[in-house]
Structure 1
Amino acid sequence: MSLSRRSVVLLAATAALLAGGCGGQTNTGGAATGTASAGKVTVEWWNISTTEPMKSFYAQKVKEYQTAHPNVTIKNVPIENEAFKAKLATVTQSGKTPDVYTTWGGGVLKQQIDAGLVKDLSSEAATWIADFTPASLAAYQFDQKTYAIPQDIGMVGFWYNKDLFKKAGIAAAPATWTEFIDAVKKLKAAGVTPIALAGKEKWPGHYYWAYLAMRIAGLDALKQAAVDHDFNKPDFVAAGQKLKELADLQPFQKGYLGAAYSTPDGQAALMGNGKTAMELMGQWAPTVEKDASKKDLGDKLGFFTFPSVDGGKGSATDAFGGGGGYAVGVNAPPAAVDFLKFLSSKDVHAAAVETGGIQPVLKGEESVVKDPNLAVVAKTLASASGFQLYLDQAYPPAVGQEVNDSVAALIAGSKTPEQVTQAVTETAKSE
């Protein structure tokens, strides 16, 4: 997911945050430290759990941990996704981090590791890291060391309104891009807005280009592009052409360019309110739809994987997505790691999965998933032939940001498919 615009208000808020410090972090050596006085310690925890059910769940778990550890104060700081990434980018650029903070791993985390900001958890967490599935740990491991603890993993796919599909005469979820385009046309003909998109935030739009690149070029091509810094290849241009084909149909809601994701008038709320037929989003979509709209689609909501593309080199069973985990600042107090151990304990994490807010990361946890759609996601992910991390996390931050910006411009009609690949290539070569 992408970094948001740096508004004057946001910068002012960030400046105030820095003036106050991150969890009492005043270490001038470039990393964070927790505050401690007379045997008491404060752990500042930045997370993106601003919606239910996880917002209340984590608040309760903080209380439980503090009751069991009266000398520890967990400063729980839930921050909306885009604001979180902007604030974290600012503090890491100044050589600091919160004590515990959300990470999606990949190139962004690696950059923080290379800057000496992140604690190596390989030894301290060795006894309980073994409880996690290898797939959930992969995005946080570099050079055989573990730098973050996973809390969630999942994949992006299409969430759709079964009633609106039926209204448009669509009998089955599309399995190919040709069928998908046909479904969009049928929805429009039936007076239904086909797709909800948070155009303002950009990262949701990059899902389309990334998946098309996976289906047309294949996973190996995306990985190779990260090595040779060259996206000026026919298959990547073709991904942009397919996306332009979709955008030319004007499938998104009116005003989508100014729409946010989780606001009451944003992408998730439009789906939750039954105003649009589809959204391409991660496994958290149902909970955010419900929270943003204050409604529950229930069994009207379905899920299907991103369609295959005729003649493409990629497999239709390759998945795109990622998970959320927590990294620890290099100079955070020991209580920070202990708090993560508590959140990752089998009973606590299983209870979190049971809320439907996150997906399993611990071995044997799959049976806890009760929601039928999330069970489909878990099953699909478990049988995936390959996996690609979000491009704006897999690649270095500047490259990921350029992917988001250029794809947003393509969808809006201000960049061509060729200009997208050229811009991303130029940014990658300059890194």
Structure 2
Amino acid sequence: MPLPFKEHPLRHAVTTELHARTFEPIKAPARVSHLAFICGERGSGRNTGHLIKLLEFFGAPVPESVGQYHVADLGGIRLHWERHTEFVTYTFTEPGPYTHPFDNPVIERLPPQWLAASPGELVSAVSVALESKDMPERSPAELSELFGHNIIIGSEVVGGLGRAWSDLRIHTDGYARILLRNEGLTDAQAGRMVKRVLELNAYRSMTLLALPVARKVSRTLDMADRRLAELAAVMTEQPSQTPGQPVESRLLAELTGLAAEIESAAAQTTFRFEASKAYYRVVKQRLEQLRQRRIVGLQTFTEFLDARLAPAVATCESVGSRQRDLAERAARLTALLRARVEVSLQAQNRNLLESMDRRAKLQLRLQETVEGLSVIAIGYYGVGLVGYLLKGLESQGLPVNATLGMGIAMPIVVLSAWFFLKRVKKRLMQGHGE
């Protein structure tokens, strides 16, 4: 019956999300094979298709759509499939007694061609054996033999209701090994314990994926740091000229290229480093949920993983911080160099303007000189014309003294020429808005 209310479109989605990381009750004894594949954030289609092929092989019901998780019965084997942000996990559980905890694992009951076609890259493969409290306890020598005589890590879990042992190494069959013992857990508690141990192993692997990246990038950052120091030292010197190119232009080109390298390295590692920190928080959460107690003579899982994961995560954080610091330093040096170039350009512009001002003044003086010569020339020719006129009148017998007339006309002609040129110059200046 539909509700008489208007529902939020995400109401069912957020409720379903609470059950996206479910666990399966497990009755001891049982064995589990767990696989985790990195597939990236865009690998949903390939992984769901691969899951459907497995369901079809065993004749299990195929869902219309696959969400974040799927549970299926494969004929005596229980499958639990989960889709995480950048990896998927397959958990195969087979209840029932067994002779050896890690011989003939559950994974061998799956079709080899399906396993070989698994999309993505394997990041975690674990064989888990869950013993019941009715089974005889193993001596330290027997435990050591199960784990190839490696150093064993172990602790009581769930407040002493269970025990867990592992060496957290990859054995000759390609799988890590974890041995669990149920000392009084319910089937639901046992299922939660197995899930937390498996998640602990998957997330600690995902956490450590960032460490090789950090080590590789660290070498690049060392070179970038030295180059930044060298460029800063060159910037403190007096600007000089190289053949055909200013020092500032060369420095700016090198700084821009170096800043691009640093940003490129940051772009390639930022997600990995942030993901590593997130996975590390999940690891610590799972360790707390196990509620461990010490088994005399053994390191607990918390002690072992803290001693190795904490420095790795700190290294990644340090490299990430160093990347940000170098990027900021490169930006500051670039800004300083640009300011220096701008000051240099301003000085050049000022010198150019001063030179142009001097040239303008010189041109003005030359122009004034030319104007004076023009007045003299015009006056000379003007007086000459007046002289021709007066001499012509004198030759006709008129009472005209040509020489005296030219002398009187000379200042009048020169002043008239001067006033005429001034007027023309004024009109030209007004026409140019000056």
**Shorter-chain TM-score range:** under 0.3
TM-score (norm 2): 0.23
Of structures 1 and 2, the one scoring higher in RCO (CA 8 A, sep 6+) is 1
Greater fraction of residues in helix: 2
